[in-house]
Amino acid sequence: MKFNRSVRIVAALVVATSLLAVAASASSAAPTKTKKVTIKVVSLIPGSTNAAFAQWNTRAKQFMKANPNIKVLGVPYQWLGNTFAPMLAAKTLPYVFTVPFTDARTLGSHKELADITALAKKLPYFSKYNPPVIAEGKVGSKVYALPTAAYAQALHYNRALFTQAGLDPNKPPTTWAELQADAKQITDKTGKPGYVEMAASDNTGGWILTTDIYSLGGRVESGSGSKTKATLAGNSYITQALNLLHAMRWDDNSMGSNFNLSWGTINQAFAAGNVGMFISGSDVYTNMVQADSIDPAIYGIAPIPTASNKTAVVMGGGTLAAIAPYVTNAAQKAACMKWIDFFYEQPLVNKAQAIANAKTLVANKQPVGVPTFPVFNKKQFDLANSWIKPYFNVPRDQMAPFLTGIFKQKLAPEPGVATQDVYHSLDAVVQAVLTDKNADFAGLLNTAQKAAQTAINNS
Amino acid sequence: MDTANPTASDMSAGSLGATEPGRARVHYHRRRTPVTWVRSGGLTTLLFALPLLLIFGAFSWYPMVRSVFLSMEMTPNLVTYTWVGLDNFRYVIHDPLLPIAVKNTAYFAFLALIFGYPIPLVAAVLMSEVRRHRGFYSALAYIPVVVPPVVSVLLWKEFYDGSVTGVFNTILGWVHMGPYAWLSSQQMAMPALVVESTWANAGGTVIIYLAALIGVNSELYEAASVDGASLWRKVWHITMPQLRGVMLVTLILQIIGTAQVFLEPYLFTQGGPNNKTLTVMLLIYQYAFGSSVGSGFGYATALSLMLAAFLALFSLIYLRATRSWSSE
């Protein structure tokens, strides 16, 4: 087969041009093509409904659409005091996870969280965080976690049981004496426990007892830093709180017969209509919808009764998002921060994102408008709430006692040093009072004091 | 027998050399070099043993050796390790929770011995007497062992639910009893754990006893029957002495097992109420992982080594004390 010279020249030119074109396209594509990054992030509490997971998946898809080079894998997760450390040690926690206010600073100082200072400071709203709130995620000038939500401890009550017991569901108790009387009335009239308190050995027993102590005016620690002292032994406020529980348990018999409830199981019991009142964070309604299918009609929330003295306060808390220390790849770390920004922070600062988030929540029958507290300042908090107000689908009228009352209360942060260990030392105290009529308060508090002080010294 | 199968001493160079000069086996010991070892299939042997050695090394021996060192280190977090000598042991010995945990563990072991030890024996003896459907009863006894332990505990947690809607409380409610707090009661929590543990574990021991009962010579029972012995006398004078060896083994296994009880208190009560079900193993776990900010591996390994030493010593004393009895 023979070609004349002109054909061969044309053919050669075509081939050469094609090669050049391919080479040019390859070289022009090279700088823009970046490697796809996969990140594992925490999603929802295990056992959440399919609708809740559908809502989460929608948000993840929105993120991946906006960031085509990032792939997000959701891992169900619940922070638990007795499983978090082993999971972190075993590197089985996802790259992005949440921790309570109580732990982030200790974990950061131990280098058990990734240092995200540089990435965090690039966020346009970084300087607008409420200073005491962002302080929960900082060690010195270094940032290890970003606040995502804040709450105040609150009294959750079953409006249906209130009505059955002849109480006004719009007038929840405002003093501990009223709470005790209402609890007794609920038990007497309905046979259900009027007031239930978490008392499990996973630090939740101590957490709620500390909330009670704060509301009466007491504290469980004094001083700060290396001079911190546990103040459990001989503390009259703690004795007062224990006497109150003892009276409800043994004199009124209004606390039921299950004294092993924890954060999740007390939510279940309440959603099932088996609890008159209990204390937990103001935002637990979300979990009761996501995991326990609560009937919204029964739900009521009010501020915790506080004593009239000057030191009586409502204890607050919150959640921070952090990146695992084993995420060392810069691209992955940056992708993790983008996720934290998108998923947790943007709905608090960006109108379009706040509305988009609220719309997906409503579409999947997830709660919008659950009482929380300002992560930024109060002005920003009110502004963000005004954006999503049209999408509120929780019974805000039934939450009125809390929403109108809480900003009149004084809020205080949780104990600052070895917090979870101090709670753990109090677990046994609250259990003893609820399971032993003749419990020796002084002896119990002396034992707890030693354990708490040892933990404080070691931390 | 000796002549048909020469022993190792018979195969010594001297004896073989004297009887069969010139054969390769004469210089067997002198020629046992690496080359001969390879040629005689040593590499194949090693190859087959390697996975076992690696797995045991990585997951059994290394952690054991590492834990000895870890027991003398302070681990305030999961990154830094500081050598502290015997401080961790001192801390554990002076911890007020240790005597509570030891006492609770002993109480669990005692209750398990009272309830858990005779029940499988009685069940096995009764089942061996049953002539029909023996397989069915064996399966029935063994099913709880097949159920994953965590599932068993979660199941029994529903039974023990302290509210009026709990399974046991509902049943007792029909006869106007309760509701009882079960796991939330300082008095009832530990017995409740033992009952579940016995239910969950008895099946395995029943099978061991049943297997041992098959080995008992039936002629003994026939002879006893001829002599007019009752069922009870047959059990007492034939079955029990014949099972003595097995009973010793199951007893020591049970004591070692109950000394390390963890699953039940961890899943049922996490040591509560008021540390009434805190066992030694649970205390070890709490040292290691109880703090959400991760510390205390040193304390945990120190107490682990103390427990291991105690159990080794106990086993040694027990075996020595019962050697004459078991070899009768």
Residues 366-385 of A with CB under 8 A from B: none
Per-residue pLDDT at A23: 46
Both B30 and B146 in one domain: the answer is: no
CA of B120 vs chain A CAs: smallest distance (Å): 32
Per-residue pLDDT at A111: 86
The 10s digit of each residue's pLDDT in B195-205 is 999 999 888 88
Confidence band (pLDDT; 50, 70, 90) for A22? very low
Whether residue B142 lies inside any domain: the answer is yes
Q: Do B181 and A258 touch (CB under 8 A)?
A: yes
Both B111 and B31 in one domain: the answer is: no
Both B43 and B140 in one domain: the answer is: no
Q: Do A257 and B78 touch (CB under 8 A)?
A: no
The 10s digit of each residue's pLDDT in B203-232 is 888 888 888 888 888 888 889 889 888 888
What is the model's pTM?
0.80
**Mean pLDDT score of chain B, rounded to an integer?**
84
Confidence band (pLDDT; 50, 70, 90) for B9? very low
Whether residue B59 lies inside any domain: the answer is no
The 10s digit of each residue's pLDDT in A390-449 is 999 999 999 999 999 888 888 899 998 889 889 999 999 999 999 999 999 999 999 999
Both B206 and B270 in one domain: the answer is: yes
Per-residue pLDDT at B51: 93
Whether residue B187 lies inside any domain: the answer is yes
Whether residue B62 lies inside any domain: the answer is no
Whether residue B293 lies inside any domain: the answer is yes
Please state, in angstroms and rounded to a whole number, the distance separating the CA atoms of residues A373 and A411.
Answer: 11
Both B91 and B37 in one domain: the answer is: no
Per residue, the 3-state secondary structure of chain A, as one string, reads CCCCHHHHHHHHHHHHHHHHHHHHHHHHHCCCCCCCEEEEEECCCCCCCHHHHHHHHHHHHHHHHHCCCEEEEEECCCCCCCCHHHHHHCCCCCCEEEEEHHHHHHHHHCCCCCCCHHHHHCCCCHHHCCHHHHHHHEECCEECEEEEEEEEEEEEEEHHHHHHCCCCCCCCCCCHHHHHHHHHHHHHHHCCCCEECCCCCCCHHHHHHHHHHHHHCCCCEECCHHHCEECCCCCHHHHHHHHHHHHHHHHCCCCCCCCCCCHHHHHHHHHCCCCCEEEEECCCHHHHHHCCCCCHHHEEEEECCCCCCCCCCEEEEEEEEEECCCCCCHHHHHHHHHHHHHHHHHHHHCHHHHHHHHHHHHHCCCCCCCCCECCCCHHHHHHHHHHHHHHCCCCCCCCHHHHHHHHHCCEECCCCCCHHHHHHHHHHHHHHHHHCCCCCHHHHHHHHHHHHHHHHHHC
Q: Do B78 and A89 touch (CB under 8 A)?
A: yes
- Which phi and psi angles does B89 have, rounded to 5°? -65, -40
The 10s digit of each residue's pLDDT in A361-385 is 998 888 999 998 889 988 899 999 9
Whether residue B63 lies inside any domain: the answer is no
CA of A85 vs chain B CAs: smallest distance (Å): 5
Q: What's the CATH fold of domain A37-150+317-391?
A: D-Maltodextrin-Binding Protein; domain 2 (3.40.190)
Both B24 and B103 in one domain: the answer is: no
Q: What is the mean pLDDT of residues A224-229?
A: 88
Whether residue B71 lies inside any domain: the answer is no
Confidence band (pLDDT; 50, 70, 90) for B36? confident
CA of A317 vs chain B CAs: smallest distance (Å): 16
Confidence band (pLDDT; 50, 70, 90) for B12? very low
Both B235 and B142 in one domain: the answer is: yes
Among the listed ranges A159-173, A329-343, A366-380, which one has the minimum average pLDDT value?
Answer: A366-380
* Of residues A363, A382, A283, the one with CA closest to residue A59: A363
Domain boundaries, chain A: 37-150+317-391, 151-315+396-458
Domain A151-315+396-458 in CATH 2.40.50.140: no
Please state, in angstroms and rounded to a whole number, the distance separating the CA atoms of residues A103 and A107.
Answer: 6
Confidence band (pLDDT; 50, 70, 90) for A119? very high
Tell me if domain A37-150+317-391 and domain A151-315+396-458 are identical in fold.
Answer: yes
Both B48 and B94 in one domain: the answer is: no
**A435 closest CB neighbour out of B79, B185, B292:** B185
Residue A159 pLDDT exceeds 90: yes
Both B99 and B40 in one domain: the answer is: no
Residue B323 pLDDT exceeds 80: no
* Of residues A192, A190, A414, the one with CA closest to residue A316: A414
Does the beta carbon of A201 lie under 8 angstroms from any beta carbon of chain B? Answer: yes
Per-residue pLDDT at A12: 52
Residue pairs spanning A and B at CB distance below 8 A: 124
Q: Which domain holds residue B206?
A: 87-326
Residues 283-312 of A with CB under 8 A from B: none
CATH of the domain at B202: 1.10.3720.10
The 10s digit of each residue's pLDDT in B59-111 is 999 999 999 999 999 876 666 788 999 999 999 999 989 999 999 999 999 99
Both B152 and B37 in one domain: the answer is: no
Both B110 and B41 in one domain: the answer is: no
Residue with more model confidence, A243 or B45: A243
Q: In percent, how much of chain B has pLDDT > 90? A: 40
- Cβ contact A299:A285 at 8 Å: yes
Q: Do B272 and A202 touch (CB under 8 A)?
A: no
Q: How many domains does chain B have?
A: 2
Confidence band (pLDDT; 50, 70, 90) for A33? low
Both B120 and B42 in one domain: the answer is: no
Any idea which residue has 């019962």 for tokens?
B322
